[in-house]
Structure 1
Amino acid sequence: MIEIVEIRKNRRGEESDEILLEIIKQFPGLSQYELGKKLGWKTGRVDGSIRRLLNEGKIVIKVLERNGRRINLVYPKEEKPKDVIEVSAELLKAANPAWNEYAYVYALDNSTIGISGREIPEWEEISCFLEKIPIQKAENKILLKIPEKFWRFYHMERKHSVVSINGNNILITVAGNIIEEKRYPA
């Protein structure tokens, strides 16, 4: 009788893990609380799934310091290089001729990188520097490799970044220091 109960618990846990992992892949960088709210799950269920996914090496937790507070954010285990960003071609209106061969990367301020499929004179005037990079396309995505100069200037290996779409342009906001990656949130 006890074995049947254990099997049911394991199956339910595996189903929860699959659902949570899919959400983490769709929305990387959410906290445990935000994941629970998004799924309508109680904290214990999210906590258990996160613990199992961490032990299986499918996710990683990054600890950030933002406005003097420590925040644990959950990410899928990265398979792609850290200096490459992926954006859905649908979101960018990639059929637009602007996103064919090259993208223009602008250092807009100390926390914002702007990327466009065409030159933008207004951005060029205010940016610290700019670089033209080749566009790679895969499946229904556009892949852009952040230039080394930007990577070093923004200290991106130690910062949290958020990618957003504004019109037909990409904005990367770089903020919050990544303090550590840890096994399980305490």
Structure 2
Amino acid sequence: MMHVALLRGINVGGKNPVPMARLKTLFIDLGYTRVRTYINSGNVVFWDTGTHPPQTHAERITAGIRTMFGLEVPVVMRSVKEMAAVNACLRTDWVTDQAMRCEVLYLWPTLQAETVLEALPVRAGIDAVIAAQGAIIWQVDRKKMGKSGLMKLAAHPLYQQMTLRNANTTRKLYAMMLEQSST
């Protein structure tokens, strides 16, 4: 089955440096195939032949990163089916560009999107949000960024239990998963 591993907090501001080529090697060493990384922010698409229980992927990857890089890096896993559900909720006109910012907040598996959404600093009339399966999609006009609750997200207690990818990256990862599934 095709999966994507979303690593939290690597290669951000010079902290937790993880070269993507070495990360790819780690996944291959863990027995995964069709391994592809995308950009330098910790996105790894891979195939598991079913030899590992799905719930153990994050644990195995986290342990491998600890061994290879000496870092404690949380990993959020999503299957192709779960990414399809997120992409189905992601409005086609929501993108990350010069006029708009759209982030997908991938939640830890213990969290429910609807419950988290109620706790976040969403600003009515400024922020547009959608609860998806295991994620929250957050869109704001760049002209309104200063007033957006998205700017306060990093200070929120739940921020440590999610990892963010922009809408463009979310779409690209899903496309990569579909492409790798068909090979």
TM-score by length of 1: 0.30
Query: Which of the pair has more CA radius of gyration?
Result: 1
Q: Which has the higher helix share?
A: 2
| Structure showing the higher strand proportion among its residues | 1
